Amino acid sequence: MSAPMGILILLISYFIPCTTPRHSGRCCPRNRFGCSMAVANLYGTDMKTTDLAALNTARRNGKPTLLITDIDSGAQTLVIDGAANGDIAVTGAVAAAIERARAEDRSRLAQIEGRRLFVQIFNPPRRLIVVGAVHIAQPLVPMARLAGYAVTLIDPRGAWATPERFPDVEIDRRWPDAALEGLAPDSRTAVVTLTHDPKLDDPALCVALKSNAFYIGALGGRKTSASRAVRLAEMGFGPADFARINGPVGLDIGAISPAEIAVSIVAELTQSLHRPGKKQAAS
């Protein structure tokens, strides 16, 4: 099969809806991001067995992976967790196209320096780790799941973290730092602390700040944030770490009720994922 025909089939398959829930982490045979074995056959470019094995391993391990294919020549490059291996150099406009596809969380066709490159994304499922089984968490959990996040709720307080209050949600009753260390936040993970209790929030933030979590948010106003910064400084953290914490958590939309605050949090998660580096102006 020729490369152009292979890419045509791939583009058609891209628009076939997936029948597997987005937050399940499983690969549907008709997933718009494609199963790796199917991808190898669609291009007609004799994808290297070693590359295919590496792609499958990376996906099983939850590492962000991209496959770049030159539609006309069939040349390919596999990018796993930022490390590129292949015939297409990941520099300049190619690197920019990759970053855009990664930020949009969507595979895309790019015209670069006379070449037609298809950048295919194999991102692991997005995760949201919520610390605190409080009232805000009740609307936040289902909203985040609707937005495509696999949600884990952490709270050692058994009276708060119950299946009755949070049905069909993974509940971790370990102390927040132990739970987060076990969950190992990565670049596809957001961490939000909602307890307003330093005994619970601070240990979670300490672990989150040492991770590659793409978003870290903490409930509390500016006074609370300032006090938190003092405590974290005593633990060895600095201004660059404080800047990673979105506090008050959520976009400033005038939210008052728990549901409105949950909306603002999901909105800020979306902004941080798709427009990294863009911060709302201080009000």
| pLDDT tens for the chain, residues 1 to 283 | 454 444 444 444 444 444 344 433 334 433 433 444 444 444 455 667 788 888 888 888 878 888 999 988 888 999 988 888 888 988 888 988 888 888 778 888 888 888 899 999 888 889 999 999 999 999 999 999 999 999 999 999 989 999 999 999 999 999 999 999 999 998 889 999 999 999 999 999 999 999 999 999 999 988 999 999 999 999 999 999 999 999 999 999 999 999 999 999 999 999 998 877 666 543 3
**Are 161 and 97 in a shared domain?**
no
**Are 161 and 268 in a shared domain?**
yes
**Are 44 and 137 in a shared domain?**
no
Check which CATH number belongs to the domain holding 242 and give it.
3.40.50.720
Report in angstroms the alpha-carbon separations of 88 from 6, 78, 94, 263. Answer: 18, 9, 9, 41
Is the CB of residue 251 less than 8 Å from the CB of residue 271? Answer: yes
- 281 assigned to some structural domain: no
**Are 130 and 118 in a shared domain?**
no
Report in angstroms the alpha-carbon separations of 142 from 23, 64, 186. Answer: 12, 25, 22
**Are 11 and 37 in a shared domain?**
yes
Q: What is the extent of the structural domain holding 83?
A: 3-122
**Are 258 and 148 in a shared domain?**
yes
- 283 assigned to some structural domain: no
- 199 assigned to some structural domain: yes
Task: Supply the pTM of this predicted model.
Answer: 0.75
- 282 assigned to some structural domain: no
**Are 152 and 23 in a shared domain?**
no
Which of 8, 18, 76, 78 lies closest to 42 in space, CA to CA? 8
Number of domains in the chain: 2
**Are 111 and 216 in a shared domain?**
no
Which of 182, 63, 191, 176 lies closest to 127 in space, CA to CA? 191
- 175 assigned to some structural domain: yes
Give residue 42's identity as a one-letter amino acid code: L
